[in-house]
Structure formats: structure tokens, C-alpha cells
């Protein structure tokens, strides 16, 4: 069946090449143009998959630094009747990858947009981690600065949703510490190297990060379980633990973090407020 004109949002393998669907194979073979974050990386993927594109069917780099500039020209090509495929380096485009502006512009121009679903790191992590799968909120990459990351997580503290996000190895511990400061004690799972040879699911808790080996290599998708209202410690218990930790000594903020690590459902900020209230 011949492809019709339009923009095709094509999911590509996270690691295991067998995950590419037959439909995705056909679209990537026959599209007039393939938009790729890194054309060299996509070209290497095509070689591994055995995708042979005909002469005259090209590639174009399309990433966060040139998406705004190149979107108008791509929209015109789609409106002129071309079949354009958008891929990211791995997984489903638009999920922390370029493409949103282009999809929106195509829709605004009356051009057809077709999803070609397939591999997705957030969904792969969510369905196999053992934490509640819904409702869930995908957060992309959290902000880099700890204070901004803490405020970012705090926005999602009371939603009751499982939280899913990406993080780089160099920032994993720092981001998890910011999540604990904002969310309190929660279950977590680090999904590492999804669908690849060394795929691994590492369970743990935000209130027990010292027990978790986060000096890891690879690509990470992190899942944080929702707060469990039945596990929230009562104020009397928190005050008892607070008295114990204050007797040990230390800066008020350090005391608050120690208390939050011992009780359930309280963030260090909430303990700190109780401490200051006397």
C-alpha cells in the first residue's frame, strides 16, 4: 500500500532492532524525506535494520537547535504532497525530543500527521517496573539546578500520579535527592538500558538513597511511585522522631532531612516547618 502525503511520526528501537514494526519499516523505506536528530546515527540504524532507501530519497537533520528554522520549509513540502518521516535518536519522537513545533505547524496548515507507534522508554519502564502504572505523568528531563528541580517536583507532589522522567548518569543522585526533598518517601525504580543487552530494573526508595547504587552507566528512565496516604506518619510520631534527631544535633535543615528519611509521607520542608513552629 503506497504512502499518502503527510508527516509520519515514527518510533524507532530503543536498543533491540527487532522492536521496529513492519509499518515503520515501510514508512522509513518509502518516505520522500526522513528528518533525524542525528543523520549519522539514524543512517547507522538503517544499516543495521537493512533499510535501503532509493536514490533521491534523502535525510535532513532536525533537532532542538534548528527545529524552529526548518519547520516552515518542511510544512510546505508536506503540503506539496511529500511523505515526510520524523524519527528521534531512539524511541518515540516528541517525548523530550524535537517535533512538537512541526506537528503543531502541520496541523495548523491542514496537513495530515500520522503516528506510527512503537518503542517508548517511558512506557517500557512503566509497564515492567512494578509500580502503579496509572495515572502517570511523564516529566521529560527535570531542570538541572537543584533548587529548580525541587520546585519542579513539588508541582507534582499532590497529584496522586506515578512520575516518570529521564536523567543523565552524571545527575542521577542529585536529581533523586531533589525529588526526595520535594516529594518525601516514595518507592522508585531506575530502568537502565531498556531493551539492550544489559537492561536492568533497580528498585529502591527515595528515603533510602544511601542503600542504592546510583553510580551506573547507560541511559536511565526513572519511575517514582505515588504517595501512599495510608503510609503517612502521624504528627505525634513525627514530633517524637524530631525530638530524637534534635537531641543528636546538627543544622535544622539536616535534622529535617534525617527525620523525613525515618518517617513516611513527609518532606524535609514539611518537617522543617514543624520544627520552626515549635
Q: Does residue 1 lie within any of the structural domains?
A: no
Q: What is the pTM of this model?
A: 0.82
Q: For residue 83, what is the domain's CATH number?
A: 3.40.1010.10
* Measured distance CA(11)–CA(255) in Å, rounded: 47
Same domain for 101 and 10: yes
Predicted local distance difference test score (pLDDT) of residue 231: 66
Q: Do residues 106 and 138 share a domain?
A: no
Q: How far apart are CA 201 and CA 199, in angstroms?
A: 7
How many Å apart are CA 29 and CA 22, to the nearest integer?
A: 11
Domain match, 17 and 110 both: yes
Number of domains in the chain: 3
Residue 137, domain CATH:
3.30.950.10
- Picking from 119, 139, 171, the residue at the C-terminal end of a domain is 119
* 190 within some domain: yes
**Domain end call among 119, 147, 171:** 119
Whether residue 114 is found in the same domain as residue 132:
no
pLDDT of residue 213: 79
Q: Which domain holds residue 235?
A: 231-277
Residues of the chain with pLDDT under 70: 1, 56, 229-232, 278
Query: What pLDDT is stored for residue 54 in this prediction?
Result: 76
User: Do 151 and 99 share a structural domain?
Assistant: no
User: Domain check: are 182 and 212 in the same one?
Assistant: yes
| Same domain for 84 and 15 | yes
The DSSP annotation for 71-102 comes to HHHHHHHHHTT-EEEEE-SSBSTTSSSS-HHH
Asked if 221 and 252 sit in the same domain, the reply is no
Q: What is the pLDDT of residues 128-153, one digit of tens each?
A: 999 999 999 999 999 998 789 999 99
Amino acid at each position: 500500500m503506497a504512502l499518502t502525503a503527510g508527516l509520519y511520526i515514527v518510533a524507532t528501537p530503543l536498543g533491540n532492532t527487532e522492536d521496529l514494526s513492519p509499518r515503520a519499516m515501510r514508512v522509513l523505506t518509502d518516505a520522500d524525506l526522513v528528518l533525524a536528530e542525528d543523520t549519522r546515527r539514524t543512517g547507522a540504524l538503517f544499516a543495521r535494520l537493512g533499510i535501503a532507501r532509493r536514490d533521491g530519497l534523502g535525510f535532513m537533520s532536525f533537532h532542538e537547535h534548528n527545529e524552529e528554522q526548518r519547520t516552515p520549509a518542511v510544512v510546505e513540502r508536506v503540503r506539496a504532497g511529500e511523505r515526510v518521516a520524523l524519527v528521534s535518536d531512539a524511541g518515540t519522537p516528541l517525548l523530550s525530543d524535537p517535533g512538537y513545533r512541526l506537528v503543531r505547524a502541520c496541523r495548523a496548515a491542514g496537513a495530515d500527521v500520522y503516528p506510527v507507534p512503537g518503542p517508548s522508554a517511558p512506557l517500557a519502564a512503566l509497564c515492567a517496573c512494578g509500580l502503579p502504572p496509572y495515572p502517570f505523568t511523564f516529566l521529560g528531563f527535570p531542570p538541572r539546578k537543584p533548587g529548580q528541580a525541587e520546585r519542579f517536583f513539588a508541582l507534582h507532589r499532590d497529584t496522586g500520579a506515578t512520575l516518570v522522567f529521564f536523567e543523565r548518569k552524571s545527575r542521577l543522585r542529585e536529581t533523586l535527592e531533589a525529588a526526595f526533598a520535594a516529594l518525601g518517601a516514595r518507592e522508585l525504580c531506575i530502568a537502565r538500558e531498556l531493551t539492550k543487552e544489559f537492561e536492568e530494573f533497580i528498585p529502591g526508595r527515595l528515603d533510602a538513597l544511601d542503600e542504592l547504587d546510583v553510580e551506573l552507566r547507560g541511559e536511565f528512565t526513572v519511575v517514582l511511585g505515588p504517595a501512599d496516604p495510608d503510609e503517612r506518619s502521624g504528627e505525634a510520631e513525627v514530633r517524637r522522631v524530631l525530638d530524637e534527631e534534635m537531641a543528636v544535633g546538627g543544622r535544622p535543615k539536616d535534622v529535617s532531612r534525617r527525620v523525613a528519611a525515618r518517617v513516611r509521607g513527609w518532606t524535609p520542608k514539611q518537617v522543617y516547618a514543624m520544627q520552626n513552629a515549635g
